[in-house]
Amino acid sequence: MVYYLKEVRIIKQILTAAKALFENAKQNISLLANASAFINQEIEKINWVGFYLYLDDKLCLGPFQGKPACEVINLNEGVCGFAFKEQKLTNVPDVEQFEGHIACDNASKSELVIPLTKDNFKIGVLDVDSPILNRFDPKTVELLKQIAELVVKYYKL
């Protein structure tokens, strides 16, 4: 119980810190750059985190942390294309089992992709990779979902 309450407190602190960081962003590139740096700092055991933005019917690489990554993803490709096209949070416990997965960093073993939409405008996706199989447990998914919601809230259309 004590451990659980401590965890809840930590999650609240992380979300409060995220809000404080995001709400003052003057423009979207700063917002997304700091959001990827923030997630990289706060979430353990990840090797890549960043944004792909919807442009000309493709997903284009946006601000990220990690190794250089593929610049353009077609909507019929990869976990990112799938999650965006279906507009569905996609949690892949083992990327080798996902047909069409695009390996930007061979270290990536599991992946979480969260579509970002604001007022019917499709912004793109948040993509997080981990070097550990099945990294994205329900608590981590929930936390990343809430951080993604804050990004959407402060994203300017």
Among 110, 129, 130, 144, binds ligand SME (CB under 6 A): 129
Which of 39, 46, 104, 126 binds ligand SME (CB under 6 A)? It is: 104
Give the integer Cα–Cα distance in Å for 72 and 60. Answer: 5
| Smallest separation, CB 105 to ligand SME (Å) | 7
| 135 touches ligand SME by CB under 6 A | no
Report, in Å, the least distance between residue 4 CB and ligand SME.
32
Contact 72, 58 (CB under 8 A): yes
Assign 3-state DSSP to the chain and report helix, strand, coil percentages, each to 5.
40, 25, 30
Smallest gap, in angstroms, from Cβ of residue 19 to ligand SME? Answer: 26
Contact status, residue 40 vs residue 21, Cβ threshold 8 Å: no
Which phi and psi (to 5°) does residue 54 adopt? -80, 120
Which parts of 30-89 interact with ligand SME (CB under 6 A)?
48, 69-70, 73, 78-80
Q: What is the DSSP string of 72-93?
A: EEETTSHHHHHHHHHT--EEES
Closest distance of CB 62 from ligand SME, Å:
11
Interacting residue ranges for ligand SME, rule: CB under 6 A: 48, 69-70, 73, 78-80, 101-102, 104, 108, 111, 127, 129
